[in-house]
Amino acid sequence: MNNTDIAEVFESIAGLLEMRGDSPFTIRAYRRAAQVIKELSTELGQMVRDEMDLQELPGVGKAISDKITELVNTGSLRYFERLNAEFPDGILDVMRIPGLGPKTALRAWKELDVTTVAELEQAIHDGRLAALPRMGEKAADNLLKSVKLSRSKR
Pair 7, 80 in one domain: yes
CB 68 within 8 A of CB 44: yes
Helix or strand holding residue 11 (H, E): helix 3-20
Read off the pLDDT band of 151 (50, 70, 90): confident
How many independent structural domains does the chain possess? Answer: 2
Apex 64 CA angle, 61 and 70, nearest 5: 135
Distance CA 127, CA 141 (A): 10
Pair 30, 58 in one domain: yes
* Domain containing residue 113: CATH number: 1.10.150.20
Pair 65, 124 in one domain: no
Is the pLDDT confidence value at 39 over 90? yes
Pair 66, 96 in one domain: no
CB 100 within 8 A of CB 80: no
Apex 123 CA angle, 121 and 129, nearest 5: 115
Tell the burial category of 8 from Cβ atoms under 10 Å away from its Cβ (0-12, 13-18, 19+). middle
Pair 48, 79 in one domain: yes
Give 102-150 pLDDT, tens digit per residue: 999 999 999 999 999 999 999 999 999 999 988 889 999 999 999 988 8
* Domain containing residue 28: CATH number: 1.10.150.110
Distance CA 66, CA 12 (A): 17
pLDDT at 154: 61
Domain that residue 34 falls in: 3-84
DSSP 48-91: HHTT--GGGSTT--HHHHHHHHHHHHHS--HHHHHHHTTS-TTH
Pair 51, 116 in one domain: no
Pair 76, 53 in one domain: yes
CA distances from 122 to 72, 130, 145 (A): 38, 12, 13
pTM: 0.90
